[in-house]
Amino acid sequence: DNHDIISMKLYQLMVEHTPEEENLDWTKIEPSVNLLKSPKDNIDDPTGNFRGTPLTGWKVFLLLLCALLGIVVCGVVGAVVFQKRQERNKRFY
């Protein structure tokens, strides 16, 4: 693996231990979890990860309005740039 560890942030937690816990050998403890969800079956979901709702009338209207406004803004910017370029290239004979 070609990934480098750039930095690590470590925290020391101050916890009060009982005398019974102090004498416990921590190297012999098996990790366990009390509340474990059962693992899901590793199968493909036929509906896919993205479950979108169909576009309603308002959503279609807003989408088309935004697209139309975007096209108009691009046209205006293009016309201004074209006019500036034409003015700059004028020659007086």
Sorted by sequence, the CB contacts under 8 Å of residue 17 that are 6+ apart come out as none
Per-residue pLDDT reduced to its tens digit, 6-20: 888 999 888 888 888
Per-residue pLDDT reduced to its tens digit, 11-62: 988 888 888 888 888 888 888 877 766 666 656 666 666 666 777 888 899 9
Sorted by sequence, the CB contacts under 8 Å of residue 80 that are 6+ apart come out as none
Are the C-beta atoms of residues 38 and 46 closer than 8 Å to each other?
Answer: no
CA 68 – CA 57 distance, rounded (Å): 16
Per-residue pLDDT reduced to its tens digit, 71-89: 999 999 999 999 999 888 8
Structure tokens of 45?
């979901």
